[in-house]
Amino acid sequence: MTRTLPGRDTVMHSDIERVLISETEIDEIITRIAKEIDRDYSGSDRKLLLLCILKGSVVFMGELMKKITVPVEIDFMKVSSYGAGTSSSGNINIMLDLYRRDLDSCDILIVEDIIDSGRTLSYLVNYLTLKGAKSVRTVTLLDKPSRREVDFQPDYHGMIIPDLFVVGYGLDYNEKYRALPFVGILKPEVYTHN
């Protein structure tokens, strides 16, 4: 780990080429999204269930739930779509399912860190709707529309990004870099030499 200039936004890692979205920018983005969610769900007498898709969304979820002021409950699912490397396999496997008896009274908001092919969220929206949720919407911190393989648009999104390999703020490469407090671009030699 290489620490350069002082200040939370400038803490660097030697495998990171550059910071794409700083901590301060992420905070502003999440504040804006939380206000949109508050606006849309305030006054509802139904249950708003924030559904975190493990593992990558856990950091975004933790910040988002603190900034939303309408009452929420939280739950978790784990699915896998990527293989061990940098590209999507296209397969969706449910590793941890959602077991609740009150789905018919839940407005589910699926919380994702990133949309790439769109297959994960497209699958999950359909799956949870069929399971009986009252409504299903989606929020993603990052969106790579240039990588879409299925037609999918999130209801709320943080930032549209180009097709770069990003890590940090929950996102990993081979399970590393999730704890970085910013979104950074990984040096190509890190994943081409493995």
Q: Name the nearest CA neighbour of 182 among 62, 52, 25, 2.
A: 25
Nearest residue to ligand PRP, using CB? 56
The reply to whether 77 sits near ligand PRP by the rule CB under 6 A is no
Q: Which of 20, 106, 111, 119 binds ligand PRP (CB under 6 A)?
A: 119
Tell me how far apart the alpha carbons of residues 193 and 152 are, in angstroms, rounded to a whole number. Answer: 33
Size of the site for ligand PRP (CB under 6 A): 18
Q: Cite the active site residues.
A: 116
| Site residues (CB under 6 A) for ligand PRP, limited to 86-105 | 88
Least separation in angstroms between CB 120 and ligand PRP: 3
Q: Are strands 16-21 and 183-186 parallel, antiparallel or unpaired?
A: antiparallel
The reply to whether 157 sits near ligand PRP by the rule CB under 6 A is no
Cis peptide before 66 (omega within 30 of 0): no
Q: Which of 15, 63, 116, 143 binds ligand PRP (CB under 6 A)?
A: 116
Let me know how long the chain is.
194
The amino acid occupying position 74 is I
**Structural contact between residues 157 and 187, judged by C-beta atoms closer than 8 angstroms:** no
- At 101, phi and psi to the nearest 5? -90, -5
Q: Which of 49, 109, 118, 173 binds ligand PRP (CB under 6 A)?
A: 118
Least separation in angstroms between CB 81 and ligand PRP: 4
Residues forming the site for ligand PRP (CB under 6 A): 53-56, 80-82, 88, 112-120, 172
